[in-house]
Amino acid sequence: MHKRRLLWQLFPVYLLTMLLTLLAAGWYGSRTLKEFYYEKTGGNLMSRARLLEEEITRQLAKGEDYHRIDDLCERLGGPASTRLTVILPNGRVVGDSEKPADEMENHADRPEIIAALAGTPHPSVRPSDTLGIDMMYVAIPLERDGRVLGVLRTSVPVMSIEGSLRAVRWQVAGGVLVVAILAAVASWFLARRITQPLEQLKRGAEQFARGDFSHRLPTGDSVEVAALSETMNQMAAELDARLRTVIRQRNEVEAVLSSMVEGVVAVDQRHRVITLNQAGARLLTANFETARGRSLEEVVRNPRLLALVESVFSEKEAVEDEIVLYDPDERYLHAQGTVLRDMEPPGARPGEIGVLVVLHDVTQLRRLERVRRDFVANVSHELRTPITSIKGFVETLLDGALQQPDDAVRFLSIVAIQTDRLNAIIEDLLTLSRLEQDPQRTDLTLEPGRIREILESAVAVCEPAVTEKDLTIDLTCDPGLQANVNAALLEQAVVNLVGNAVKYSDQGQTIHVEAEQVPSGEIVLRVRDHGCGIAREHLPRLFERFYRVDKARSRKLGGTGLGLAIVKHIMQLHGGRATVQSEPGEGSIFSLHLPHPVEASEPA
Ligand code: ADP
């Protein structure tokens, strides 16, 4: 439906009402005025007739000489501005102030004459047959001694009455016009006064709709508008508060989701992503920014995850699965899918709106499990080799070899070597398990120690092997260099590294043992050899337990495969780390990185 402005609805009605009222008042006024005028004129004519009644009756009574009557009419009518006519009961006109009486026709049929002769004189207005204009007539009977001698008629042209009335009407119309203009202006202002506050309310409401709740509507001066704007202001304040609460809650939820380590993916009934947090996007290598609203198939191309979501949809209960991703490293995700329920409205039976999947990255856990499994297998394997050997030789001895002294000595010395080997493995395992215990334990104390002293005593431990292989050890270290260390453990680590360098160096080579403070503040201890070196693919796993590049060679050299694992643990206890650089055929550099020392180096 076509809508009009309130102003244009109110204003014409006001205006029309006022105009009609004024017209009605004007019409009624002019009618009353006319009636009043007629009455007054009638009365006037009547009194004039009554004034002349006596004189005319006397003349009539004198008899036949009607000339005198005609003259009398002419004489009296002129000054009185009234037409006077005298008529005999038979209708014959015997005197008239305007026309010669004998030229006039019989007046017996004139209504005022009939009324006067009937004894009920009353004014009548009609066009004059004689003069041809509208006239008002009043006629009274002229009686003497109970006999009607004639009728005296007084009349005035109504033209003059109408003229006066018209003038009055024009004045009234002028007044109506002025009042109408004033009324129009007044009703315009009145309508504006009603519509203006409504306009303001409308503008305010539009501002609210745009989200600007700081705006307040003016209260205006009418009770109704004040109440309305008050209510709207309250509504705006309420909305503002609710909106803030909603935004705060959304921010909180988003903060929680984005701070979670677990990945969270929520999809609706149509498999479109409702929520995907940063961790989820990272774990699934999806685009966090664009995921929302798109279908899960598009966002995550993993059939296992899609199947999990599907089975939660179909089974309507929690489902767990492990998802393996290759991108390119192997990663394990533990996924838990549950039905996503709507908690709105509170108290109602929750409806199912989709599926929620929580993803935990269990790669580390799986890796550790594998390492542990491998470790147990390795330990068993490592222990079994010397034990099998010992058992074999002991059985051979028991089977009679004991009787041959040469063989017996050789076999027993092999048994002794294998026992040493067993012992070495067990020693190393014990060292490792000690190191693996809680690093906070009290017997591990770190205190400032001179690095050079530690390096020197480690080199001294390896002295026999060095001499045996005719190697040279080149030690470079500022005697003042200090670090926060557990001297015994750090020495053990250096011994392991120097021991390896000795084992894998060729006859007559030089091993460099150095320590320095690097610009980053770290203190770095290096053991550098020019031995066989290590192929690149082995480097990442070199510090794992029992990891050996060449098992046979390591065993032959009396290695347990645990030396570098022990080094790694010792460095961890120092809050540092161990690294390796190596080039096959060129040699290897093993570095121990210690965090910032407690004191700056000082001269010895
Ligand atoms: P092992 O007791 O066998 O030496 P480690 O844990 O000390 O065990 O060393 C692990 C493996 O790393 C060794 O078996 C060897 O293959 C390799 N390795 C360690 N140090 C060196 C080195 N200086 N040069 C070449 N290979 C080395």
What's the token pair of residue 361?
A: 């990255």
Tell me if 40-158 shares its fold with 260-361: yes
Mean pLDDT of 173-177: 80
**What's the gap in Å between 472 CA and the centre of ligand 1?**
19
Mean pLDDT of 232-241: 90
Residue 332 exposure: Cα atoms within 13 Å on the Cβ side: 12
Question: Residue 504 gets which letter from DSSP?
Answer: T
Q: Which of 51, 60, 233 is nearest to 154 (CA)?
A: 51
**What's the gap in Å between 369 CA and the centre of ligand 1?**
24
| φ, ψ dihedrals at 406, nearest 5° | -60, -50
**What's the gap in Å between 523 CA and the centre of ligand 1?**
23
Q: Does an H or E element contain 263, and which? A: strand 263-268
pLDDT digits (tens, 9 = 90+) for 46-67: 888 888 888 888 887 777 777 7
Cis, peptide link before residue 141, omega less than 30° from 0: no
What's the token pair of residue 45?
A: 């004519």
Give whole-number Cα distances, 266 to 277, 467, 600, in Å: 9, 68, 55
Distance of CA 390 to the CA centre of its chain: 78
Q: Which of 428, 500, 529, 547 has most ligand 1 atoms within 8 Å of its beta carbon, as the pocket-test mutant?
A: 500
CA distance 532 to 9: 104
Which fold, 40-158? Beta-Lactamase (3.30.450)
Q: What is the pLDDT of residue 347?
A: 66
Mean of pLDDT over the chain: 86
Confidence class for position 168, pLDDT limits 50, 70, 90: confident
| Three-class DSSP category at 377 | helix
DSSP-assigned letters across all residues of 63-130: -S-HHHHHHHHHHHHHHHT-EEEEE-TTS-EEEESSS-GGGS---TT-HHHHHHHTT----EEEE-TT
For the chain, report the end-to-end CA distance as a whole number of angstroms: 102
Closest approach atom of ligand 1 to CA 545: 6
Residue bearing the CA closest to ligand 1, atom 20: 500
pLDDT digits (tens, 9 = 90+) for 73-112: 887 777 777 888 888 888 888 888 878 877 888 888 888 8
Domain 445-594: which CATH number of 2.60.120.10, 3.30.565.10, 2.40.30.10, 3.40.50.720: 3.30.565.10
Is the distance from the beta carbon of residue 358 to the nearest atom of ligand 1 less than 6 Å?
Answer: no
Is the distance from the beta carbon of residue 505 to the nearest atom of ligand 1 less than 6 Å?
Answer: no
Helices 158-209 and 223-259: crossing angle, nearest 10°? Answer: 20
Is the distance from the beta carbon of residue 499 to the nearest atom of ligand 1 less than 6 Å?
Answer: no
Question: Where are the chain's structural domains?
Answer: 40-158, 260-361, 367-437, 445-594
| Four-point Cα dihedral 63, 65, 69, 72, nearest 10 | -120
Residue bearing the CA closest to ligand 1, atom 21: 500
* Strand arrangement, sheet containing 273-276: 273-276, 263-268, 351-361, 330-342, 319-326
Q: Are 542 and 478 in contact (CB under 8 A)?
A: no
- For the chain, the residue count is 604
Q: Which of 527, 564, 579 has most ligand 1 atoms within 8 Å of its beta carbon, as the pocket-test mutant?
A: 564
pLDDT digits (tens, 9 = 90+) for 549-574: 888 888 788 788 889 999 999 999 89
**What's the gap in Å between 499 CA and the centre of ligand 1?**
9
Question: Residue 49 gets which letter from DSSP?
Answer: H
Mean pLDDT of 296-305: 88
- Taking CA 451 as the corner, what is the angle to CA 445 and CA 454, rounded to the nearest 5 degrees? 80
pLDDT digits (tens, 9 = 90+) for 408-423: 899 999 999 999 989 9
Closest approach atom of ligand 1 to CA 555: 3
Which CATH number is 260-361 given?
A: 3.30.450.20
Residue 163, number of CB atoms within 10 A of its CB = 11
Is the distance from the beta carbon of residue 534 to the nearest atom of ligand 1 less than 6 Å?
Answer: yes
The residue assigned the tokens 């909106």 is 243
Is the distance from the beta carbon of residue 548 to the nearest atom of ligand 1 less than 6 Å?
Answer: yes
Which CATH number is 367-437 given?
A: 1.10.287.130
**What's the gap in Å between 555 CA and the centre of ligand 1?**
11
Is the distance from the beta carbon of residue 532 to the nearest atom of ligand 1 less than 6 Å?
Answer: yes
CA distance 14 to 502: 116
What's the token pair of residue 272?
A: 């479109």
Q: What is the pLDDT of residue 440?
A: 60
